[in-house]
Structure 1
């Protein structure tokens, strides 16, 4: 039972909860990522993922994932014997994996051109060796705008990062990014929303 007239957590508490939740989500990569537990049980002993992981002493099997020593580094993912028709939540955490085992119902992320080798088994499909779209030609070739650099962003995906002092839409602006203006506007918007939420809570408390 709460105290009579209590109006629930204030805006500061909600902001703190949001920040803590975001931190917990960002810290969920690696063996704690949702994708490592989206299917019950550990990785299969005879799977390509387990074999790859055991062949490299620096790697470790955690749930369905083979993880590296760097925080959040998912090197392999074994979902081969799972009855999935869609990639489960948290799959972007494994976007840099070098070996992935999937049910036959699922194609390799990014398509066949995004992997060096795709092997089909009786109940699973194994995707091995991600190709770098930034260094490819033909179907996977990707051209970034001038003044930007291509960076891999998952199977068959890239992101274009502005080079040097360029920034803005298609990296057309040159010079220092206006940090003071950006954070000033962000701070003003955050303060305004917090005040509106606080005022709303106050009115609800007085009305109850």
Structure 2
């Protein structure tokens, strides 16, 4: 074999490895259904496209701008005849910017976003407000938990070690044994009751 042929074959190895890596990443990145519920892709001059292109680590796929972990940071549903956001809409609760049809409201309402702009055929919801910072209620999360945003207009209490339950007010660990014991005995009791009732009806008929 000629030396030149060996060199050309070796130069193809990095390209083949890079192509294989891209294919693996594409397969690993499961595209959320909300990104494909409308046909087409994000338009080049869309605010979502511009936001996505400003950060090299972000990628445009269908109607979404995603980070490398597949988390939605932008959603563009303009030119999409939606009257209702649909069941997959909560998948975009991490979005920083959304462009929605005129009849679809910003999730969480206007007060859940820093900037809501209305246009003739669509509206733009930009910059989720942190409900933990905007509320003046100290009882939102007591001292046993810390407040964390959980989507537009939503928050959750992250419990400190050793606390659980509603607003982290219960001390100690959550007992799975007690929970499943009560659940199992209740289910068994109801099953026996229903079986007895059906058996009596069968005998009577």
| Structure-1-length-normalised TM-score | 0.67
Find 2:175's aligned residue among 165, 168, 178: 178
Contact kept? 1:34, 1:89, Cα under 8 Å:
no
Equivalents in 2 of 1:35, 1:42: separation in Å?
12
Listed as ranges, the gaps of 5+ residues in structure 1 are 1-28, 193-208
| Structure-2-length-normalised TM-score | 0.68
Higher relative contact order, structure no. (Cα contacts within 8 Å, ≥ 6 residues apart): 1
Deviation at 1:184? 6.2
Deviation at 1:80? 1.4
Find 1:144's aligned residue among 132, 141, 144: 141
Equivalence for 2:91 = 93
Alpha carbons of structure 1 residues 110 and 76: separation in structure 2 relative to 1, 3 Å: same
Deviation at 1:183? 5.9
Structure 1 residue 83 corresponds to structure 2 residue 59: no
Equivalents in 2 of 1:136, 1:170: separation in Å?
18
Equivalence for 2:53 = 54
Equivalents in 2 of 1:96, 1:84: separation in Å?
20
| Cα root mean square deviation, aligned | 2.9
Contact kept? 1:99, 1:127, Cα under 8 Å:
yes
Equivalents in 2 of 1:110, 1:123: separation in Å?
20
Secondary structure (helix, strand or coil) at the match of 1:134 reads: helix
Listed as ranges, the gaps of 5+ residues in structure 2 are 1-27, 189-205
Larger Rg: 2
Number of equivalences: 162
Deviation at 1:142? 7.9
